[in-house]
Chain A
Amino acid sequence: KAGVTQTPRYLIKTRGQQVTLSCSPISGHRSVSWYQQTPGQGLQFLFEYFSETQRNKGNFPGRFSGRQFSNSRSEMNVSTLELGDSALYLCASRGGSNPNYGYTFGSGTRLTVV
């Protein structure tokens, strides 16, 4: 059974540009969450999607957005990149809302903004 796949693994962008990150969850998982990991702030929740609907959003500016497709794949977009957006972006999927399902994380996309 394939795990959570995130593409690309590494990305370098310039300030002011925008970027789109992709996440393919485990087959059958309808819930996809995104987290930002930085040395200073640690792991912070960005948002979660379930069956194409955003269920909640973390405390991030509107430059951070996402969506989920009918096949449960998810994309995250960051517009007008800032140096502080440099981070490891992790995607996690789970089979349902019951915490018994647990989250499975991908290997992440490391974004560097220069």
Chain B
Amino acid sequence: AQSVTQLDSQVPVFEEAPVELRCNYSSSVSVYLFWYVQYPNQGLQLLLKYLSGSTLVESINGFEAEFNKSQTSFHLRKPSVHISDTAEYFCAVSYSGGSNYKLTFGKGTLLTVNP
């Protein structure tokens, strides 16, 4: 069965510090990988995605994630966080072929940026 593991349920950091949110997935087939962010009382917003090509993908607000096929990982990083990055982050996977209609999500990582 498809599964996504986010290794940390909560990550507290200080403002301007670097952060890494970890994500591993289980799969033996081609995958598409996503990071979504959820602010309180809101839906999910797509942060970045890996479909194919370069294994390093970036978002417009300074986040980046690297697809590592051998380690089945897609960790999210930011070199310097802001208070406004406080939110819950979800890693998700969908699979190529006929089953790419759904996303399988991890349990989420709550990133709290403290001043």
How many A residues have CB within 8 A of the partner chain?
Answer: 26
* Contact present for B51 and A42 (CB under 8 Å): no
Q: Are A56 and B105 in contact (CB under 8 A)?
A: no
Chain A minimum-CB-distance residue to B100: A99
Q: How large, as a class, is the contact surface on chain B?
A: 20 to 34
The answer to whether B103 and A104 touch across the interface, beta carbons within 8 angstroms, is no
- Across the two chains, which residue of chain B brings its CB closest to A99? B32
Which one of A12-20, A63-71, A76-84, A105-113 contacts B?
A105-113
Q: How far is the CA of A107 from the CA of B38 in the complex (A)?
A: 10
Contact of A103 among B96, B103, B104 (CB under 8 A): B103
List, in ascending order, chain A residues with CB within 8 A of B96's CB: 99
B45 touches A105 (CB 8 A): yes
What 14 new A-B contacts, CB under 8 Å, besides A43-B108, A102-B46, A107-B42? Answer: A35-B105, A42-B106, A42-B107, A42-B108, A43-B105, A44-B105, A99-B32, A99-B51, A99-B96, A99-B100, A104-B46, A105-B36, A105-B44, A108-B42
Q: Which residues of A contact B (CB under 8 A)?
A: 4, 6, 31, 33, 35, 42-45, 48, 50, 55-56, 58, 90, 92, 97, 99-100, 102-108
